[in-house]
Amino acid sequence: MTHVTSLNGLALHNSWVTIGTFDGVHKGHQALIHTLVEGAHRHNQPAVVVTFYPHPAVVLGKGPFPGYLTSPEERARYLSELGVDWVITLTFDHAMSSLSAQDFMNQLAKHLGIRYLVIGYDFALGRGREGNPERLQAIGQQLGYEVILAQPVQAGEQPISSSQIRQFIQQGNLETANQWLGRLYAVEGIVVRGDGRGRVLGFPTANLSYWPEKLLPANGVYATWAWVGKERLAAVTNLGVRPTFASPLHYRFLEAHLLDFEGDLYEQTLTLEFVARLRPEQRFSSLEDLKAQIQKDIRTAREILNHVP
């Protein structure tokens, strides 16, 4: 897979293209991408995803944006795993938002040589979202591409969506979020030095410096898998402001106690996969009470993780 951030210099031919934000690359996205990749590769043609950063909702100010399910790099990696050949992450700004559907598709056709455009049933692009499926089909008759409509993937009676997954994660409902994503929700970061409180308590933690735009779950304690390189380790992860100790309230600490692990992780990349929320964050009246609760959390996390493949 090739990941680029501009159309400049691209001259593809007979490509199968889809367009969207694809934040999270959830089960609905995966079904659409499967249609794209299967069709393109059956004809030995490139499968291309055109996506955007920042999210259009951030640029257009459509209410507060809670955070991203995936960074541009994570999103490209997930798309690559699905068989996509090219990921083009364009900068979404006010100039792009003012383009008509015709002008935007002219640019794509020039650089990508579109043969098929695969889009969702409710997709729209261009100024005022005027580029709906019918309009894009009409433009395709001029530019030489056909439109393929992908149907939504349902969870019960509700279509799977990134916005609803964000709500589940903010509520700490990782079980449902993971089901809709089709994988465990992950947060990646670099292990940095903390204040050493975990080690003093007898439960050393890896403190993560994470992407500030990443959506984090609700504050609390979680059963997680911690990936160090290709090694997966069971972990209990605390997310919040550590109310038992003095702590700045403007920053949420993300720290993981890796079970049955000894070693130095400083400056290494650590990926945490959130399996289940054990409890909300709470303040303890004494360090002994906190230590007793951590022991309970470890036992509960082991029981949960022992039943997760």
DSSP state at residue 217: -
Say how far apart CA 124 and CA 291 lie, in whole Å. 53
pLDDT tens profile 167-213: 999 999 999 999 999 999 999 999 998 765 655 566 889 999 999 99
Say how far apart CA 125 and CA 184 lie, in whole Å. 30
Number of Cβ within a 10 Å radius of residue 212 = 8
pLDDT score recorded for residue 259? 95
Going from N- to C-terminal start, the domains of the chain cover 2-159, 184-305
By CB atoms closer than 10 A (0-12, 13-18, 19+), residue 194 is middle
Whole-structure pTM value: 0.92
Q: Which of 118-127, 137-146, 265-274, 285-294 has the lowest mean pLDDT?
A: 285-294
DSSP state at residue 99: S
DSSP labels, 268-293: -EEEEEEEEEEEE----SSHHHHHHH
Average pLDDT (294-302) is 95
Nearest partner of 23 among 78, 64, 60, 61, judged by Cα: 78
Matching CATH number, 2-159, of 3.40.50.300, 3.40.50.620, 3.40.50.970, 2.40.260.10: 3.40.50.620
Residue 224 has pLDDT above 80, yes or no: yes
Q: Which residue has the higher pLDDT, 248 or 169?
A: 169
Average pLDDT (102-126) is 96
Q: What percent of the chain has pLDDT over 90?
A: 80
pLDDT score recorded for residue 7? 97
pLDDT score recorded for residue 203? 81
Query: What rounded mean pLDDT belongs to the chain?
Result: 92
For the domain bounded by 184-305, which CATH number is listed? Answer: 2.40.30.30
Specify which of 34-43, 195-204, 245-254 reaches the highest per-range mean pLDDT.
Answer: 34-43
List of residues 6+ apart from 229 with CB closer than 8 A = none
- Strand-pair category, 269-280 with 185-192: antiparallel
Q: Is the separation of the CB atoms in 287 and 201 below 8 Å?
A: yes
pLDDT score recorded for residue 141? 97
DSSP run (H or E) holding 210: strand 206-210
pLDDT score recorded for residue 23? 98
